[in-house]
């Protein structure tokens, strides 16, 4: 698989992987508890790493470049909400009450967050003079050290 050329491509790649994992989760039956746990754990791990690189590296650079504090603040609040659900899901087992519902709600929240980033934030970032290739390299290095 080829490496992303810049920070935005890296994040979009993450978005696609997580979306595919949510779709895989949705396709599993209640009888597949081990499969559900495995996929849900992968989703939680991927989203945790994704939020780390966004919050530590991407968002601070973007906040400075696009000067849209409302958009950036909303993204951070969405992250906080997702982190709460991720912690709850990680501490549960399939078959427990509300397990599937929490994964579904997380999926819906992530869909909304991704649409905001890809539809509003990323186009604004592309219009700035941020060095997205260099930023992407820093983000990839941070991902590599955490995984």
Per-residue pLDDT tens over the stretch 62-104: 999 999 999 999 999 999 999 999 999 999 999 999 999 999 9
The answer to whether 138 and 96 have CB atoms below 8 angstroms apart is: no
pLDDT tens across 109-139, in order? 999 999 999 999 999 999 999 999 999 999 9
Contact between 2 and 132 (Cβ < 8 Å): no
Full-model pTM: 0.94
The architecture in CATH of the region 7-146 reads Up-down Bundle (1.20)
**Helix locations, the chain, DSSP H:** 7-26, 33-53, 59-66, 69-90, 99-116, 122-126, 132-146
Domain boundaries, the chain: 7-146
CA distance linking residue 104 with residue 22, whole number of Å: 8
């Amino acid at each position: 698989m080829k490496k992303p050329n810049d920070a935005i491509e890296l994040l979009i790649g993450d978005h696609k992987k997580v979306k595919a994992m949510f779709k895989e989760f949705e396709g599993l039956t209640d009888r597949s508890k081990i499969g559900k746990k495995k996929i849900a754990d992968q989703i939680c791990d991927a989203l945790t790493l994704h939020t780390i690189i966004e919050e530590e590296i991407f968002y601070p650079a973007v906040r400075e470049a696009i000067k849209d504090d409302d958009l950036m603040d909303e993204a951070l609040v969405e992250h906080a909400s997702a982190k709460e659900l991720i912690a709850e899901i990680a501490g549960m087992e399939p078959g427990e009450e509300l397990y599937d519902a929490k994964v579904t709600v997380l999926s819906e929240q992530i869909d909304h967050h991704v649409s905001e980033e890809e539809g509003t934030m990323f186009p604004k970032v592309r219009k700035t003079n941020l060095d997205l290739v260099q930023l992407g390299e820093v983000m990839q290095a941070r991902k590599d050290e955490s995984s």
